[in-house]
A and B are shown apart, each in its own frame.
Chain A
Amino acid sequence: MDPEISVPMTTSGPAIFFDGVTSARRTVTVELGASALLVRGPDVELLAEWPYGDLAAYAAPDGVLRLGRAESPVLARLEIHDHDLAATFAAHAGKVKHFGAVEPRTRVKVVGWSLAAVTSALLVAMFGVPAIVARVTPIVPVRVEQRLGASVEVQVRAMLDLGQHDRFECGDAKSPPASRAAFDKLVHRLEAAAALPVPVRATVVHRSEANAIALPGGHVYVFEGLIDKANSPDELAGVIAHEMGHVAHRDGVRAVIEAAGLSFLFGMLIGDFSGGGAAVIAMRTLLQSSYSRETEASADAYGAELIAKLERDPRALGDILMRIAGTPGPMAKILLTHPEARERADAIEAIAHKAGIKPAAAPLSNRTGDAPPAGLLTDSEWTALKRICQAAPQTAPRATPQTPRKAPQEAPNSDHRGALPRPESSRR
């Protein structure tokens, strides 16, 4: 700027001054005193005297030192454009705080504490949420669960009903009464042995997947595909008993509370930065599938014990699970909502062993539709039940699909639990 003033130890120099009262710009002279900075006007009159301790530097373009008095309601500003004067000022005034600037130390703190906060939220999600859910779920009134079930049912039906049949349910007036009676008998025998908080309403529906789902409030949907695939009443009973496990444990309510807890925990904390939404969804998916695997394992245990109580072999549940499920890939495993079929069958085997039930004599592969004597259903009842979804008794039996067809729509999700992994995830 002014070459004559650029002597190293300048103690005064030009600057621009705004007094904070009007927007007038004044060219002034700055004097660096012993303990304060003096601003003098063109007639050497004193415009301001700022003790160094009061000063703060404010956001300014490169090469400009913009000073003001910290904490002052009057926004008087002094702009020093002269590099040497700025350097001398620094020497006189010592360290001046930079108002609003993000210091490297602050950055480290922000990163450190954010990581701590996220870690703590994750720990809460992994341990705290399940603990809370386990305590809250039992005290939710049955009436609330049934109401929840009714609203879930509307959505589930909308998703599952492909409209390819006149009616979504099988086993109504149009199907053979014997079939319906056999199905009801099976369900009632199981229900009588189970002590459930709500009455079970079991319905067979037109869906080709080998699966069954339980909704909150005690409604169980058994898919047509499952009845096609079941080789014995015990196998079908095993799956229905598993669903009753979900009803007994009130897993539908549990899932709703879990989902709300998780989205609350992460949705609030993690704002909308690029990829943030994806991070929230990914975390929720991972945690929910892990909750879900535990839930499924305990429903398996419940189902196996229920079957054992009826003095039948729970291994039938393991058999049908093994037959239907594929082997998931390693990555898919942590995303699975259900444990692997092998693990499930092993756990069921352990329960059967504990209950002192010997494995059925016939090798698994040779089992036919015949149930051992004194089974859950008679042969003729079982035969009738297998035909439950055929429109009229005289119709030729429908060709049974050998593999579950892939559902065009995303089928059940966390609000209602299927006994079996969805075909999409098991095919990995």
Chain B
Amino acid sequence: MTDLALVPPVPPPVPPLPAPVLPPPIPLQLAAIGCFTGPMRAFRKIILRGALLQVVTFGIYRFWLTTDARRFLWANTEIGGDSLEYAGTAMELFLGFLMAIALLVPVYVMLFIGSLELGVWSQLSSIGAFGFLAVFGQYAYYRARRYRLTRTVFRGIRFHQSGSPFSYAVRSLFWGAVTLLSVGLAFPWAQASLERYKLAHTHYGAWQGQFAGSGTRLFARGVGLWLILILALVAAGVVATKFVDPNVLARAATPAGAKDPKLAIEVSKIMGIGFGVTVVAGIVYMLLQAIVMRWWLAGLRFGPLVITTTLRKRNIVGAYLRCFLYALLLMFSLSMIMSIALGIVAVAAKPPENVGQVLVIGSTMVIYLVMAIGIWVLYQMTIKLRIWRLAVDSISLAGFEAIEYVRADASLPSSAVGEGLADALGAGGI
């Protein structure tokens, strides 16, 4: 979602000025609001059809699906009464993918050869692979963002991105390391720094973007969540040392220990603790997403435009919860249907044991496939689309009257090769 570095809004409280009565140019508005006009149904059709075709084509359809979805999202994102236009094509994405393959194949082969070597070389090659993927992942992400921006047109003017992907990758890795070393405490400043870099290199015609969000402010809003997570982990550790008998677990590797009835009890204790930590982490994650999203939207600036947002935390959390509940429901009903169907077959047809085994394995595979597709579709519908929509609907843009005078940048840089590396490395997304 942070990809969409283009939502310029102003708060709704400012009432739009009455349009001038004079026929000549341009109705004047001092403030404008964002508005998402797309019907859910249309998006669901795109996503469902895309999911099925992806299965049939073993994933190759993804370039066309992504293009379809973006055309829909962009076209239905209205800012101050005019909608965005996505001007990219699936063929560009596909070409980029082919380029990425061409670039990655030699690297892949080299790493493979390296991994066959002994000792130092083999280890160097795995470190090399990790480092390469880390740098290139960020590099590719920045390139992909540039592609999306150059393919975004608003009122006859396109966005673009300057800056060096390599420099961004270095920053991103640096901040990633700092975040890791600080156990997450540096995350707000890392985000702020990276967003500042991205926005300062984002342009709408002659306007330059700017990110006004402050890391310290994000820290103040999020540090509570950090404490909760740390406390939960510490509590889990304490509970585990107090109530779980490590000797039973240590013996599990031995044949006698594996049969110990106490083992099941100890394992279920650990699973219980794990479940608790996961629930806390899940809640913290959802709240963090909401906080970061609000902070990010409210920090966006374009030329004289100042963006404010009325986004509610509970709406974002609601989107995640809804996705989670639907997924549970899907899993539950699917297993029910499958068990009932198998039960009927077992009772009615009494298949021999062989056939029965095949049926069970087959239906497990069906459940897996349907779940994988189903959860992906749910995620796109209940999280991706909904959060996009909430974000667009929540923004207002102060100083919007200035939009009338933005000039196109004469030297229009644009890439004709899609998101290549990013797609191949999985950073594509919508």
Contacts and interface: CB of A to CB of B under 8 A. Distances in A.
Q: Do A and B bind each other?
A: yes
Interface of A: 16, 18-27, 42, 58-62, 64, 66, 73-77, 99-102, 106-107, 110-111, 114-115, 117-118, 144, 147-148, 150-151, 162-164, 256, 260, 264, 268-276, 278-279, 329-332, 405, 408, 428
A383 B161 CA distance: 79
B116 A102 contact: no
Given A42-B24, A100-B71, A22 B405 contact: yes
Interface stretch (B53-61, B191-199, B269-277): B53-61
A271 B25 contact: no
- B74, B75, B412: most-surrounded residue (chain A CB, <10 A): B75
A23 B116 contact: no
A99 B156 contact: no
Given A77-B156, A106-B64, A329 B354 contact: yes
16 contacts: A23-B403, A23-B405, A25-B27, A27-B25, A27-B27, A42-B25, A110-B64, A115-B56, A151-B117, A151-B119, A163-B253, A268-B104, A271-B423, A273-B54, A273-B55, A273-B59
Contacts, number: 193
Contact of A101 (B55, B71, B104, B361): B71
Interface stretch (B78-86, B289-297, B308-316, B319-327): B78-86
Given A101-B71, A329-B354, A20 B156 contact: yes
A428 to B, nearest CB: 8
A308 B248 CA distance: 51
B89 interface: yes
Given A260-B112, A405-B255, A23 B205 contact: yes
A43 B316 CA distance: 49
Given A59-B85, A151-B122, A274-B373, A73 B412 contact: yes
A100 B74 contact: no
A51 B60 CA distance: 37
B74 A59 contact: yes
B64 A25 contact: no
A275 B412 contact: no
Closest 9 CB pairs of A and B: A18-B156, A114-B57, A274-B376, A275-B372, A273-B59, A23-B406, A59-B71, A114-B60, A23-B155
Contacts of A272: 59, 426
B430 interface: no
B101 interface: yes
Interface in B249-271: 252-255, 258
A23 B154 contact: yes
Contacts of B252: 408
B404 A23 contact: yes
Given A101-B71, A147-B118, A111 B57 contact: yes
B399 interface: no
Contacts of B90: 100, 102, 106
A274 B205 contact: no
B181 interface: no
B427 to A, nearest CB: 10
A64 B38 CA distance: 13
Contacts of B58: 114, 118, 269-270, 276, 279
Interface string B297-309: 0000000000000
Contacts of B86: 59, 100
Given A24-B405, A73-B412, A162 B253 contact: yes
Interface in B153-212: 153-158, 205
B130 interface: no
Contact of B61 (A42, A111, A264, A331): A111
Interface string B391-430: 0000000000001111110001000000000011010000
A147 B357 CA distance: 43
A276 B59 contact: yes
Contacts of B37: 61
Given A75-B158, A272-B59, A274-B372, A60 B406 contact: no
Contacts of B354: 329-330
B423 A110 contact: no
Question: Is the interface on chain B under 10, 10 to 19, 20 to 34, or 35 or more residues?
Answer: 35 or more
A162 B125 CA distance: 29
Contacts of A62: 42
B361 A331 contact: yes
Contacts of B423: 271
B23 interface: yes
Contacts of A16: 82
A19 B407 CA distance: 10
Most buried by B among A77, A115, A256: A77
B116 A278 contact: no
B88 interface: yes
Contacts of A107: 53, 61, 64
A60 B56 contact: no
Contacts of A99: 87, 89
B132 interface: no
Contact of B357 (A148, A150, A331): A331
Which among A27, A100, A428 has the greatest number of chain B C-beta atoms within 10 A?
A: A100
Contacts of B138: none
A267 to B, nearest CB: 9
A77 B26 CA distance: 15
Contacts of A408: 252-253, 258
B105 interface: yes
B67 A115 contact: no
A66 B27 CA distance: 20
Contacts of A274: 51, 54, 372-373, 375-376
B373 A275 contact: yes
Contact of A23 (B67, B156, B355): B156
B25 A24 contact: yes
Given A21-B156, A151-B117, 11 more contacts: A21-B407, A23-B155, A60-B83, A100-B67, A100-B87, A100-B90, A110-B57, A115-B57, A117-B60, A151-B119, A278-B368
Contact of A22 (B42, B55, B89, B404): B404
Contacts of A144: 116
Nearest to B254: A164
Given A22-B407, A22-B408, A60-B75, A76 B54 contact: no
Nearest to A100: B89
Contacts of B105: 268
Nearest to A26: B25
A22 B354 CA distance: 72
B346 interface: no
A22 B154 CA distance: 11
B76 A75 contact: no
A61 B68 contact: no
Nearest to B406: A23
Nearest to B376: A274
A177 to B, nearest CB: 30
Given A59-B85, A271-B424, A18 B407 contact: no
Contacts of B27: 25, 27
Contacts of B254: 162, 164
Interface string B80-122: 0011011111100000010001001100100010001111001
Interface in B203-258: 205, 252-255, 258
Contact of B53 (A101, A111, A275, A278): A111
Contacts of B358: 330-331
Contact of B83 (A64, A264, A329): A64
A264 B361 contact: no
B62 interface: yes
A105 B314 CA distance: 43
Nearest to B424: A271
Nearest to B372: A275
